[in-house]
């Protein structure tokens, strides 16, 4: 049995992978292009290694092939879109040397490239926001009567957009602003789509994390409700909770997976409940380990271990009952509340309530592994400056 595993990407989700598998006694290689990634400091990382940025696929491939002699037959579990896309596109070259949870690009691209995702949802009757696909600035100008405002400008590949603009999307109120922001995207050579805004606050989001094992059976199926997002209304979950199965979210998620032919692998869905109509709207799906996987592990669903047992040992662990759990990303929650939440969607007592929950888990903070949290504290001035500059409400 190969007891090595590579956590590719060592930020919030990668740290959870490192800790989960390190506690199982595996030899964990923490691998990231970013030397500041907090997971590189974890005591559960047997090796902490910096690699080329996966967007430079030639350099990344060369690095991984050079390491193949010492990391031969090691399972790679990735926790970011850059890594997932690179591994998927390079599977032919890397599969003789490594094991993967990553899907082939013809399937993964349906989730990474968002214009494909929403077209897929429309084809199989999964409700999604009304989406527009301008092909140029001139084309967009001709769509003035068609596009409902306000709307959002959303990247087709989120990781590229975040790298360039340091935000997930643009919210625009007027058509002139829409043209201006769309032109910025064209100048950055970034493909984007336009979407209507689904009304509702942070608490209207519902999520389901799924892992279909190598036999095509659910190895993970766990449900969350979001309490607060970073940033508000459009961001990632900074506070949330494990909840009992959400039947409607389950049905829509599996309908889309079946239609895509996605029979094995990770698929983490986010939906939003329309605050006026009550309809559940599909927002996005990611085909890799999510940022918030720590809440699953803390609830008794050891996502990384389930994957490891399946792919390395050919052992398919059954779906297990899970505990209720509250999840907190401490510094994102505090910093957003202080410097970026333009519209308070909660009272002071609502804000602090999750911190008094007896069943809470923190994304980063752990008494048994303090260095990642201390590393995050060292980076706080940079993070705070970035959040002050961000304009997305």
124 belongs to a structural domain: no
Question: What CATH number does the domain containing 191 carry?
Answer: 3.30.1490
Q: Return the pLDDT at 392.
A: 42
Residue 221 pLDDT exceeds 90 = yes
**Residue 73 falls within a domain, yes or no?**
yes
* Local confidence band at 216 (pLDDT 50, 70, 90 cut-offs): very high
Domain boundary among 55, 82, 102: 102
pLDDT (0 to 100) of residue 157: 80
Q: What is the pLDDT of residue 165?
A: 87
Burial (CB count <10 Å: 0-12, 13-18, 19+), residue 187: exposed
Residue 136 within any structural domain of the chain: yes
Kind and range of the H or E run holding 222: strand 218-230
Residues 6+ apart with CB under 8 A from 347: none
Residue 169 sits at φ, ψ, to 5 deg, of -165, 170
In sequence order, what are the residues at sequence separation of 6 or more whose Cβ sits closer than 8 angstroms to the Cβ of residue 380?
Answer: 331, 335
Please indicate, yes or no, if residue 369 is contained in any of the structural domains: yes
| 213 and 279 within one domain | yes
Looking at per-residue pLDDT, the higher value among 335 and 293 belongs to 293
Whether residue 328 is contained in a domain is answered as: yes
Residue 77 has pLDDT above 90, yes or no: yes
How confident is the model at residue 1, as a pLDDT?
Answer: 61
Task: Kindly indicate the confidence band of residue 324, based on its pLDDT and cuts at 50, 70 and 90.
Answer: very high
- pTM for the model stands at 0.92
Domain containing residue 231: CATH number = 3.30.470.20
**How high is the mean pLDDT of the chain?**
93
**Torsion sign, CA atoms 131, 133, 137, 143:** negative
Grouping H, G, I as helix, E, B as strand and the rest as coil, residue 284 is strand
Please identify, among 180, 196, 212, the residue that sits at the C-terminal boundary of a domain: 196
Structural domain including 302 reads 202-389
Q: Burial, 276: exposed, middle or buried (Cβ in 10 Å; 0-12, 13-18, 19+)?
A: exposed
List, in order, residues 6 or more apart from 166 with CB less than 8 Å away. 386, 389, 390
Claim to verify: residue 185 and residue 292 sit in the same structural domain: no
**In the 8-state DSSP scheme, what is residue 200?**
-
**What CATH number has the domain bearing residue 75?**
3.40.50.720
Q: How many domains does the chain have?
A: 3
pLDDT 10s digits, 37-69: 999 999 999 999 999 999 999 999 999 999 999
Do residue 253 and residue 351 come from a single domain?
yes
For the cut 60, the answer to whether the pLDDT of residue 391 exceeds it is no
- Residue 330 domain flag: yes
Residue 112 lies in a domain: no
Q: Are residues 231 and 367 in the same domain?
A: yes
Q: Domain boundary at 82, 102, 122, which?
A: 102
Residue 151 in any domain: the answer is: yes
Q: What is the mean pLDDT of residues 234-257?
A: 96
- Pairwise CA distance, residues 384 & 373, whole Å: 16
């Amino acid at each position: 049995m190969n007891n090595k595993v590579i956590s590719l990407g060592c930020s919030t989700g990668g740290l959870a992978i490192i800790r989960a598998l390190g506690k199982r006694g595996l030899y964990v290689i923490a691998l990231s292009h970013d030397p500041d990634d907090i997971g590189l400091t974890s005591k559960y990382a047997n090796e902490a290694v910096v690699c080329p940025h996966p967007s430079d696929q030639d350099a990344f491939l060369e690095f991984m092939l050079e390491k193949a002699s010492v990391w031969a037959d090691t399972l790679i579990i990735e926790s970011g879109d850059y890594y997932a896309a690179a591994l998927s596109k390079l599977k032919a070259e890397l599969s003789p040397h490594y094991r993967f949870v990553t899907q082939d690009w013809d399937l993964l691209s349906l989730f990474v490239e968002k214009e494909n995702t929403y077209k897929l949802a429309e084809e199989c009757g999964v409700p999604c926001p009304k989406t527009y696909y301008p092909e140029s600035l001139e084309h967009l100008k001709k769509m003035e009567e068609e596009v409902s405002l306000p709307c959002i400008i959303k990247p087709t590949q989120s990781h590229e957009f975040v790298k360039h603009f340091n935000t997930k999307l643009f919210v625009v109120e007027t058509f002139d602003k829409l043209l201006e922001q769309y032109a910025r995207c064209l100048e950055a050579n970034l493909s984007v789509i336009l979407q209507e805004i689904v009304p509702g606050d942070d608490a209207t989001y519902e999520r389901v994390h799924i892992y279909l094992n190598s036999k095509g059976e659910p190895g993970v199926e766990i449900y969350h409700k979001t309490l607060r997002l970073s940033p508000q209304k459009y961001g990632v979950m900074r506070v949330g909770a494990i909840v009992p199965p959400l039947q409607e979210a389950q049905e829509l998620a599996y309908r889309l997976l079946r239609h895509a032919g996605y029979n094995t692998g990770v698929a983490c869905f986010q939906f939003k409940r329309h605050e006026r109509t009550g309809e559940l709207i599909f927002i996005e799906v990611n085909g890799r380990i999510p940022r918030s996987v720590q809440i699953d592990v803390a609830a008794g669903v050891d996502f990384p271990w389930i994957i490891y047992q399946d792919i390395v040992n050919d052992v398919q662990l059954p779906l297990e009952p899970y505990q209720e759990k509250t999840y907190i990303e401490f510094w994102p929650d505090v910093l957003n509340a202080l410097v970026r939440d333009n519209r308070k969607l909660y009272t002071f007592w609502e804000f602090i309530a999750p911190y008094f929950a007896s069943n809470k888990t923190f994304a980063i903070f752990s008494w048994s592994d303090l260095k990642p949290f201390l590393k995050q504290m060292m980076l706080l001035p940079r993070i705070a400056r970035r959040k002050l500059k961000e304009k997305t409400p």
